[in-house]
């Protein structure tokens, strides 16, 4: 019986995990600069939460959720629903009129895995609740762009406005009329979509549909006065902050809750999984979930996809080395070194030693691989003479050190490591 990880579930091993740590460190730094606070959320929620937030008719809810049917609970397929549930449950709108929150963690969707798409994947999710200001929208995108920029990634930003419950029905009607005229020319999926979710036809990848849809009415032309004002404000803000973007009238969202601003960070380097980050405004959602009437906007970054891009850059991540390797020869020395290494670690140093009784040569090799700055060699001869040899691995300089009682020895070594 050979047990392997589940299809679509991955181990992140040493060597790759450093990239994840760097990604998270950069992200946390930038989120802090923009005054966002972390919130940690459970992975399991009532199934109903996702059905109501994401939309009963979406693919995610219809066929991709990991649900314990008997318990009516589901492993979260995205973060926004859980975050809003917590926001409402704890009355966060009362504590602050505008809440800026982020969360980082695994999400679960039962899809067929492929490049940049796993069944357990990780997102960094950022949300602002309580503001309708178009500057917030612009700021969110600027923050995303800054994050990607500081990671050294070149990703483009696409922007659209989906309108609101006031203007979208009108657009829908004219879109439906347009699609009806060309029903025959559409692919089978789009024939179905015309009935269920006509907006989706706009971003069908089938070339035939794309051609048909080129002349389709544009959402941007059907916005009501308020939405048009808002959309103008967003673009003005982006311009002021120097964020590069392009308008894409065909971009719609797969989740039902989006209104007005939607955007995607897109790369051409990941095959079919072009979106490394996406989000938008969801002004009615909090209320729809039983909370106060509070507007919101958020976006999520796909961490696997960002890590793939970082790997493609092939920047070598310097593995942070250790301070000291204690090399001992013989049982007596090894016993002495065992205690000394522990004392050094207690005082805050990164220390390694070999516990397998290997040759000095082998121990030196290990020290080299671990990136040890120094090696303390404790041989039988040295021990007998009450001494040890300290070697600087970079300069190859060595110097003798008189062995002392452990506490003093630690002090001496800390000083010597700086000077040698």
Contact in structure between 375 and 352 (CB atoms under 8 Å):
no
Nearest approach in angstroms of CB 155 to RNA is 10
Tokens 């970082």 belong to residue: 310
Interface residue with RNA, options 379, 401, 403, 410 (CB under 7 A):
379
| Cα gap 162→248, rounded to integer Å | 11
Told to check if 335 binds RNA by CB under 7 A, we report no
Query: x/- binding map, residues 122-161, to RNA, per CB under 7 A?
Result: -x--------------------------------------
| Span of 107-115, 142-150, 213-221, 404-412 interacting with RNA by CB under 7 A | 107-115
Using CB under 7 A as the binding criterion, the count of chain residues that bind RNA stands at 68
Query: Is 58 one of the binding residues for RNA (CB under 7 A)?
Result: yes
- Spell out the residues 6+ positions from residue 4 whose beta carbon is closer than 8 angstroms to its own: none
How far apart are CB 384 and RNA at their closest, in Å?
8
* Minimum gap (Å) between residue 206 Cβ and RNA: 6
Rounded CA-CA distance 338/335 in Å is 5
Cα 50 to Cα 216, 258, 296, 303, 335: the distances in Å are: 32, 14, 17, 22, 58
CA 87 to chain centre: 21
* Interface pick for RNA out of 149, 239, 292, 368 (rule CB under 7 A): 368
Residue 30 or 255 with smaller CB distance to RNA:
255
By the rule CB under 7 A, 355 interacts with RNA: no
- Pick from 105, 106, 113, 284 the residue near RNA by CB under 7 A: 113
User: For the residues of 375-409, what is the DSSP string, one character each?
Assistant: EEEE-HHHHHHTEEEEEETTT--EEEEE---HHHH
From residue 238 to residue 257, what is the string marking binding to RNA with x (rule CB under 7 A)?
A: ---------------xxx--
- Contacting RNA (CB under 7 A), which of 52, 85, 100, 109? 109
Burial of 175: CB neighbours in 10 Å, binned 0-12, 13-18, 19+: buried
In terms of C-beta density within 10 A (0-12 exposed, 13-18 middle, 19 or more buried), how is residue 185 classed? Answer: middle
Question: What are the strands of the beta sheet with 259-266, ordered from one edge?
Answer: 37-38, 99-108, 120-129, 296-302, 275-281, 259-266, 156-161, 246-247
Interatomic CA distance for residues 310 and 82, integer angstroms: 29
CB of 122 to RNA, least distance (A): 8
Tell me, residue by residue from 256 to 275, as one string, x for binding to RNA by CB under 7 A and - for no binding: --------x------xxxxx
Interacting residues with RNA between 280 and 319 (CB under 7 A): 300-302, 304-305
Site residues (vs RNA, CB under 7 A): 4, 6-8, 58-60, 64, 78, 109, 111-118, 121, 123, 189, 193, 200, 204-206, 253-255, 264, 271-279, 300-302, 304-305, 329, 358-362, 364-369, 375, 377, 379-382, 389, 391, 393-394, 396, 398
């Amino acid at each position: 019986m050979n047990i392997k990880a589940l299809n679509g579930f991955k181990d992140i091993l040493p060597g790759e995990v450093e990239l994840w740590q760097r990604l998270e460190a950069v992200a946390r730094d930038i989120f802090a600069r923009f005054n966002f606070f972390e919130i940690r959320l459970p992975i399991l929620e009532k199934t109903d939460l996702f059905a109501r937030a994401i939309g009963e008719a979406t693919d995610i809810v219809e066929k991709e959720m990991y649900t314990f049917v008997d318990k009516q609970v589901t492993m979260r397929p995205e973060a926004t629903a859980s975050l809003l549930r917590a926001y409402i449950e704890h009355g966060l709108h009362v504590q602050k009129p505008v809440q800026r929150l982020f969360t980082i963690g695994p999400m679960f969707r039962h899809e067929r895995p492929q490049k940049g798409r796993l069944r357990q994947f990780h997102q960094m999710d950022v949300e602002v609740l309580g503001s309708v200001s178009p500057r917030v929208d612009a700021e969110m995108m600027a923050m995303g762009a800054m994050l990607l920029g500081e990671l050294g990634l070149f990703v483009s930003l696409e922007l659209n406005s989906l309108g609101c419950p006031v203007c979208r029905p009108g657009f829908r009607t004219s879109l439906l009329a347009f699609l009806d005229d060309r029903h025959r020319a559409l692919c089978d999926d789009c024939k179905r979509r015309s009935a269920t979710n006509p907006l989706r036809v706009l971003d069908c990848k089938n070339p035939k549909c794309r051609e048909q849809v080129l002349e389709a009415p544009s959402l941007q032309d059907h916005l009501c006065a308020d939405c048009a004002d808002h959309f103008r404000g967003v673009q003005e803000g982006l311009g002021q902050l120097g964020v590069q973007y392009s308008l894409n009238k065909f971009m719609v969202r797969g989740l039902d809750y989006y209104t007005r601003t939607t955007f995607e960070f897109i790369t051409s380097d990941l095959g079919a999984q072009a979106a490394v980050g996406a989000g938008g405004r969801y002004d009615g959602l909090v209320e729809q979930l039983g909370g106060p009437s509070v507007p919101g906007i958020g976006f999520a970054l796909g961490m696997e996809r960002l890590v793939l891009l970082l790997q493609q850059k092939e920047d070598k991540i310097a593995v942070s080395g250790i301070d000291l390797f204690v090399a001992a020869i013989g049982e007596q020395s090894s016993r002495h070194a065992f205690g000394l290494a522990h004392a050094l670690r207690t005082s805050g140093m990164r220390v390694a030693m070999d516990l397998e009784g290997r040759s000095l040569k082998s121990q030196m090799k290990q020290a080299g691989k671990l990136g040890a700055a120094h090696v303390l060699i404790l041989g039988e001869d040295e021990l007998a003479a009450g001494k040890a040899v300290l070697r600087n691995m970079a300069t190859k300089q060595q110097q003798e050190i008189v062995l002392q009682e452990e506490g003093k020895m630690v002090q001496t070594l800390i000083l010597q490591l700086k000077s040698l």
